[in-house]
């Protein structure tokens, strides 16, 4: 009778240990997934910021080039157009 109780207790302990190990593994997997999602979000935000900065720089350069060309044309016409 004692052997049966000890065997049953051993089975219960093994089942509990296996369940705890499975829960810990699942928690680690979920934490890793959260970390991956956070990293992906950070990368996406950085890429969007870089794209916005590049677009702004390109627009500013184009506007400056247009202004310089217009100024040159006005000066050349004013100087040599007479």
Residue 75's pLDDT is: 86
- 55 is a domain residue: yes
Q: Is residue 75 part of a domain?
A: no
Give the per-residue pLDDT at 33: 98
In degrees rounded to 5, what are phi and psi of residue 45?
Answer: -65, -45
Structural domain includes residue 76: no
In a domain, 28, yes or no: yes
- pTM of the prediction? 0.59
Residue 1 domain-assigned (yes or no): yes
First to last CA, the chain: 121
Q: What total number of domains does the chain contain?
A: 1
Look at residue 56 in the predicted model and tell me its pLDDT: 98
Domain that holds residue 43: 1-70
Is 78 a domain residue? Answer: no
Looking at the domain assignment, is residue 27 inside a domain? Answer: yes
The mean pLDDT values, 10 residues at a time, for the chain of 82 residues are 87 96 98 98 98 98 96 83 61
């Amino acid at each position: 009778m004692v052997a049966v109780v000890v065997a049953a207790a051993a089975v219960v302990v093994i089942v509990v240990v296996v369940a705890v190990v499975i829960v810990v593994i699942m928690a680690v997997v979920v934490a890793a997934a959260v970390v991956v999602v956070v990293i992906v979000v950070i990368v996406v935000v950085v890429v969007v910021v870089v794209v916005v900065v590049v677009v702004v720089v390109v627009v500013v350069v184009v506007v400056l080039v247009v202004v310089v060309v217009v100024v040159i044309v006005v000066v050349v016409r004013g100087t040599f157009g007479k």
